[in-house]
């Protein structure tokens, strides 16, 4: 899997780094594993999230893939625990795709996660109110 996760218990933060190609099916499988193994565990319920895409080498995402990702991701949002999700990207194309993902994700009535895309890593952590 091109995704790796790091847990920062002090900052209550889950950091995911994606390396290599960004492909629909890989993202779908990765988010399912993430939801099962990390996000839905009681000890991480109040954790914010960072997804770092700066090591992505090629983007092969489709509109249908982004829609499916948005639906899948919002299906596990919890009303009592709104969280923040910061994406760190290194290109305007990736930035635009994150904005599309956010749009599709927010179509769900369950969606309650605040999402922002950043090109600057420091700004992402500032938004999360976390010191690096």
* pTM, full prediction: 0.90
Q: Is the pLDDT of residue 1 over 70?
A: no
| pLDDT tens per residue across span 38-89 | 887 889 988 999 999 999 999 898 999 988 988 888 888 777 777 899 999 9
Partners of 52 in beta bridges: 17, 88
Our count of domains for the chain comes to 1
| Domain presence at residue 19 | yes
| pLDDT tens per residue across span 86-109 | 999 999 999 999 999 888 888 877
| Domain presence at residue 132 | no
The residue range of the domain holding 53 is: 3-127
Q: What integer is the mean pLDDT of 22-36?
A: 91
Cα distances from 109 to residues 66, 99, 113, in angstroms, run 17, 18, 11
| Domain presence at residue 92 | yes
CATH number at residue 7: 3.30.750.24
- Give every CB contact of residue 112 below 8 A, 6+ residues apart in sequence: 77, 78, 79, 82
Residues 132 and 125: their CA atoms lie apart, in Å, by: 7
Main-chain phi, psi angles of 16, to 5 degrees? -110, 130
Q: Is the pLDDT of residue 111 over 70?
A: yes
């Amino acid at each position: 899997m091109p995704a790796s996760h790091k847990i920062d218990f002090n900052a209550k933060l889950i950091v995911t780094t994606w390396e290599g190609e960004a492909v629909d099916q890989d993202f779908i499988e990765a988010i399912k594993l993430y939801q099962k193994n990390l996000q839905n565990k009681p000890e991480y319920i109040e954790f914010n999230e960072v997804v770092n895409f700066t090591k992505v080498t090629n983007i092969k995402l489709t509109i249908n893939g982004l829609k499916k990702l948005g639906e899948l991701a919002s299906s596990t949002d919890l009303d009592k625990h709104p969280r923040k999700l910061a994406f760190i990207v290194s290109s305007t194309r990736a930035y635009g795709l994150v904005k599309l993902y956010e749009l599709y994700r927010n179509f769900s009535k369950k969606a309650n996660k605040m999402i922002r895309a950043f090109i600057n890593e420091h700004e992402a952590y500032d938004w999360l109110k976390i010191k690096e």
